[in-house]
Amino acid sequence: MPQTVFAPWNDPDEKPLISFQGVTKRFGDFTAIDDITLGIYAREFFALLGPSGCGKTTLMRMLGGFETPSAGTILLAGQDIAPVPPNKRAVNMMFQSYALFPHLSVWDNIAFGLRREGRDKAAIAARVEEMLKLTRLEKFSHRKPHQISGGQRQRVALARSLAKAPKLLLLDEPLGALDRKLREETQFELMDIQEKTGTTFVIVTHDQEEAMTVASRVAVMDEGRLIQVATPDRIYETPDSVYVADFIGDVNIIEASARQSGDKVSLAWAEGQLPLIATTTKTFAPDQHCWLAIRPEKIAISAERPKAANALQGRILDIAYLGNISTYHVALPSGQVLKAQTANTRRIERRSFTWEDEVWISWTDTAGVLLDK
């Protein structure tokens, strides 16, 4: 373990910078945010992840001051922010549409917030130059927003929201409009900037890879509720519900009924099949309904019967070749199809399995996660 792990959420002495306490937001009789309680710590890069319409933007807009909670309180640095109007909050937002002022140059867009603070000219100029340099926009400072590319516009929006050095920066799907390569570059740029400036970032995204790449912690949302809040690796390795396991990455879900002895659980999953073995820290009642979630890359595929805790025989139904990896869809006698993934370390013509081959798939008792919901 490195000595300086950034994990304030594990430290009981740390106070969160933002704290949602039982926050609910209703539009008419529709509940967009449903009783959310959440702490976000200073210097965090916090990602809100969820399908479209689950309330991510609404949550952000409440932080920015553009919506007021119907119930509950939001504290920023220990202070209730409900009575504070947007222009008085130490929070800046980067809008989903960038919302650059079309009648102002890049320079004036970035200087806009600084001018409102009434700083003197030299200080404003220095800060704008600093921001231009940080976002590598020096050459475009005199252009209007419609005279620069989408990626540059996105950086202007970022520079503008960073210029006032807010305590908290809100980014609403900031990279949605960029193509894949530019998006990946910009993600690293964002992390770099976050580290340099020490600002707390809250980013909204519906792209799970993006959330995993940039975030210190990820909150998975669904229909206005928080489903799970954890670090990217915990979310991926130990999801606490089928919804999260399914939402993040590829996964096999096997429904079964449990029979626990100590930390080992034997799973009756199909008529006339040997039970599967899994390890868990949870407790399951006898015959409790449960789900075993296993990532495809944790399932091995072989021609001979391997010596693993769980081994099943099946037939290859389909092969998805993705370049670096291949995913085999294996049909079991029970009719269920499981996905197994292998890295393509050899050239494709020397691949050992092909369609309709009878194969064994196997995994250890610790490879999967046993879920009760």
Q: Decide: is 187 part of the binding site for Mg ion (CB under 5 A).
A: no
CB of 96 to Mg ion, least distance (A): 6
Q: Decide: is 57 part of the binding site for Mg ion (CB under 5 A).
A: yes
Cα–Cα distance for residue pair 214/228, rounded to 1 Å: 17
Taking residues 159 to 188 in sequence order and writing x for each that binds other proteins by CB under 8 A, - otherwise, the string is: -xx--x------------x-----------
3-state secondary structure labels for all residues of the chain: CCCCCCCHHHCCCCCCCEEEEEEEEEECCEEEEEEEEEEECCCCEEEEECCCCCCHHHHHHHHHCCCCCCEEEEEECCEECCCCCHHHCCEEEECCCCCCCCCCCHHHHHHHHHHHCCCCHHHHHHHHHHHHHHCCCHHHCCCCHHHCCHHHHHHHHHHHHHCCCCCEEEEECCCCCCCHHHHHHHHHHHHHHHHHHCCEEEEEECCHHHHHHHCCEEEEEECCEEEEEECHHHHHHCCCCHHHHHHCCCCEEEEEEEEEECCEEEEECCCCCCCEEEECCCCCCCCCEEEEEECHHHCEEECCCCCCCEEEEEEEEEEEECCCEEEEEEECCCCCEEEEEEECCCCHHHCCCCCCCEEEEEECCCCCEEECC
Residue choice 146, 181, 196, 307 for contact with other proteins (CB under 8 A): 146
Taking residues 38 to 77 in sequence order and writing x for each that binds ligand ADP by CB under 6 A, - otherwise, the string is: ------------x-xxxxxxx-------------------
Closer of 69 and 232 to other proteins (Cβ): 69
Closer of 183 and 339 to Mg ion (Cβ): 183
What's the distance, CA 98 to chain centroid?
A: 21
Contacted by 131, from other proteins, ligand ADP, Mg ion, none: CB < 5 to 8 Å by type: none
Closer of 179 and 195 to other proteins (Cβ): 179
Do residues 60 and 93 make contact, with C-beta atoms less than 8 angstroms apart?
Answer: yes
Taking residues 5 to 34 in sequence order and writing x for each that binds ligand ADP by CB under 6 A, - otherwise, the string is: ----------------------x--x-x--
Cα–Cα distance for residue pair 315/202, rounded to 1 Å: 46
Closer of 148 and 202 to ligand ADP (Cβ): 202
CB of 131 to other proteins, least distance (A): 13
Closer of 18 and 33 to ligand ADP (Cβ): 33
Q: How many residues bind ligand ADP (CB under 6 A)?
A: 11
Token readout for 240 is 């606490």
Q: Decide: is 102 part of the binding site for other proteins (CB under 8 A).
A: yes
CB of 26 to other proteins, least distance (A): 16
Q: Decide: is 27 part of the binding site for other proteins (CB under 8 A).
A: no
Q: Decide: is 336 part of the binding site for ligand ADP (CB under 6 A).
A: no
CB of 60 to ligand ADP, least distance (A): 8
CB of 204 to ligand ADP, least distance (A): 6
Contacted by 113, from other proteins, ligand ADP, Mg ion, none: CB < 5 to 8 Å by type: other proteins
Q: Decide: is 30 part of the binding site for other proteins (CB under 8 A).
A: no
Q: Decide: is 220 part of the binding site for ligand ADP (CB under 6 A).
A: no
Cα–Cα distance for residue pair 173/210, rounded to 1 Å: 10
Residues 39 to 78 in contact with other proteins, rule: CB under 8 A: 64-66
Residue 187 backbone dihedrals phi, psi, to 5 degrees: -60, -45
Q: Decide: is 247 part of the binding site for ligand ADP (CB under 6 A).
A: no
Do residues 244 and 251 make contact, with C-beta atoms less than 8 angstroms apart?
Answer: no
Residues that bind Mg ion (CB under 5 A): 57
Residues that bind ligand ADP (CB under 6 A): 27, 30, 32, 50, 52-58
Residues that bind other proteins (CB under 8 A): 64-66, 85-87, 91-93, 95-97, 99-103, 112-113, 116-117, 145-147, 149-151, 153, 160-161, 164, 177
